[in-house]
Amino acid sequence: MKLVEGDSEIFSESAKLKDWTWSGTVGALKSDLYTSRTVFIPEKTKTYKLTVKTAVANSESLKGEIILMGGGWKAY
Q: Is the pLDDT of residue 30 over 80?
A: no
SS3 49: strand
> Could you tell me which residue, 4 or 70, shows the higher pLDDT?
4
Q: Where are the domains of the chain?
A: 1-76
User: According to the model, what pLDDT value does residue 22 have?
Assistant: 84
Tally of residues, the chain: 76
Q: Would you say residue 5 has pLDDT above 90?
A: yes
For the cut 80, the answer to whether the pLDDT of residue 10 exceeds it is: yes
Q: What is the pLDDT of residue 74?
A: 55
